[in-house]
Amino acid sequence: MKKLLLIFAFLFIGLSQSFAQTVPQQQRSLLTKVTATWCPHCGSWGWEMFEGVLEENQDKAVMIATHYSGDLLNPTAEAVANNLNPPYQPRFYLGNVEQGVTSSNVASKLVEVKDAIDANFLTEPVANAGIDAFRTGDQLQVNTKTKFFQDADGEYYLGVYVIEDEVVNNQAGNSSTAVHKKIMRASVNGEHFGELLMNGSIAADTEFDHTFTMTLNPAWNTDNLEIVTIIWKKEASTYQFVNTNTTDQFSEILSTHTVALEGAAMKIQPTIINTEATITIDLEKDLPNANLSIFDSSGRKVMELFNGDLKASNNSFTINKHLMDARGIYFVVLLANEKAMTRKIILE
């Protein structure tokens, strides 16, 4: 039994460290370009403005390009762009404030925007979110911890978005193979403005933990993805920007951990569970004193599926989502003869 405990200490301690999140007590600006691939100005002076902002401000601001029309249109980008109520394109917004950029004032506006971002960076944030991003193949999981640093009141949301950099696509006014920067691709949880955090009074030091999962679009270049969090405050029908954070660092999710459990094969279908899944254990010979349980990422047992002698045959067990704790990563563990076989599942 000591050997098994050491195995699980290694497995789960490593995971719990990966899931530890730091919430930066830092105010960053959000620069949004509202654009379209058929727009000539978006590919000329609008292109110049966005490239300049990216070059000067990436350490203090998050930049996104929201295509509300054209080749790079998607529902989330369209919703975020329309939330700003742009009269035409290209338009540039710091938070929700339009910056009045035109073909004749790009140079001066780059200076104004940088000054505003620098000043905003020195202010005390109301709230921010820490991010841990995990990816295995086309499966993405994002764990967030949102912390309020000040007392607040209102209707607050946390949006988590996939941004893709260096997307090669046509752009009027530029090139048929233009390299587009910071394209907003999707909301991770499918809601354009994210998850409701609270509607009402929020005390300083209040924290909210969330887990979001999605299947990545195969057309996206996974080497160029980043995750952006945006905290919104809804006022009437408009979502007002509060703060943002970003990461382009992804950890690989541990998908299989097997320790010499000879003559046994374990399969789970499906591994991303919306309602239920089936565990199949094929044994070449009887497996006495076997235990089949589900653990969360901290190593806590959340469910025991079987305890006893497994016969040499095909053994089936069912995981029901409604009997589990919450969305996230779990591990199905078969224990026997001081050895273990582990499989990862994701609860949506």
Q: Residue 85: how many CB atoms within 10 A of its CB?
A: 12
Q: What is the pLDDT of residue 261?
A: 67
Q: Among 16-25, 64-73, 74-83, 273-282, where is mean pLDDT lowest?
A: 16-25
CATH topology of domain 17-251: Immunoglobulin-like (2.60.40)
CATH (one of 3.40.630.30, 3.40.47.10, 2.60.40.10, 2.60.40.1930) for 254-347: 2.60.40.1930
Q: Among 168-177, 181-190, 272-281, 329-338, where is mean pLDDT lowest?
A: 329-338
| Secondary structure, 3-state, the chain | CHHHHHHHHHHHHHHHHHHCCCCCCCCCEEEEEEEECCCCHHHCHHHHHHHHHHHHHCCCEEEEEEEEECCCCCHHHHHHHHHCCCCCCCEEEECCEECCCCCCCHHHHHHHHHHHHHHHHCCCCCEEEEEEEEEECCEEEEEEEEEECCCEEEEEEEEEEEEECCEEEEECCCEEEEEECCEEEEECCCCCCCEEEEEEEECCCCEEEEEEEEECCCCCCHHHEEEEEEEEEEECCEEEEEEEEEECCCEECCCEEEECCCCEEEEEECCEECCEEEEEEEECCCEEEEEEEEEECCCCEEEEEEEEEECCCEEEEEEEHHHCCCCEEEEEEEEECCEEEEEEEEEC
Q: What is the pLDDT of residue 111?
A: 98
Judge whether residue 326 has pLDDT over 90. Answer: no
Q: What is the pLDDT of residue 21?
A: 64
Residue 67 pLDDT class (50, 70, 90 cuts):
very high
User: Tens of pLDDT along 117-133?
Assistant: 999 999 999 999 999 88
Q: What is the pLDDT of residue 143?
A: 87
- The Cα 171–Cα 297 span in angstroms is 44
User: Tens of pLDDT along 222-245?
Assistant: 999 999 999 999 999 999 999 999
Backbone angles phi, psi at 286, to 5 degrees: -55, 145
Residue 295 pLDDT class (50, 70, 90 cuts):
confident
Q: Do domains 17-251 and 254-347 have the same CATH topology?
A: yes
Summary mean pLDDT of the chain: 89
Which pair of structure tokens corresponds to residue 6? 């050491």
Mean pLDDT of 135-159: 92
Q: What is the pLDDT of residue 199?
A: 97
Q: Among 93-97, 120-124, 340-344, where is mean pLDDT lowest?
A: 340-344
Judge whether residue 263 has pLDDT over 90. Answer: no
For residue 340, give the nearest of 279, 253, 266 by alpha carbon: 266
Mean pLDDT of 176-189: 97
Q: What is the pLDDT of residue 330?
A: 87
**Burial track 100-133 (b if 16+ CB lie within 10 A, e otherwise):** ebeeeebeebbeebbebbeebbeeebbbbbbbbb
Which pair of structure tokens corresponds to residue 184? 């907003």
Residue 339 pLDDT class (50, 70, 90 cuts):
confident
Name the residue ranges covered by the structural domains of the chain. Answer: 17-251, 254-347
Q: Please tell me the pTM assigned to this model.
A: 0.72
Q: What is the pLDDT of residue 20?
A: 47
Residue 252 pLDDT class (50, 70, 90 cuts):
low
Q: What is the pLDDT of residue 171?
A: 98
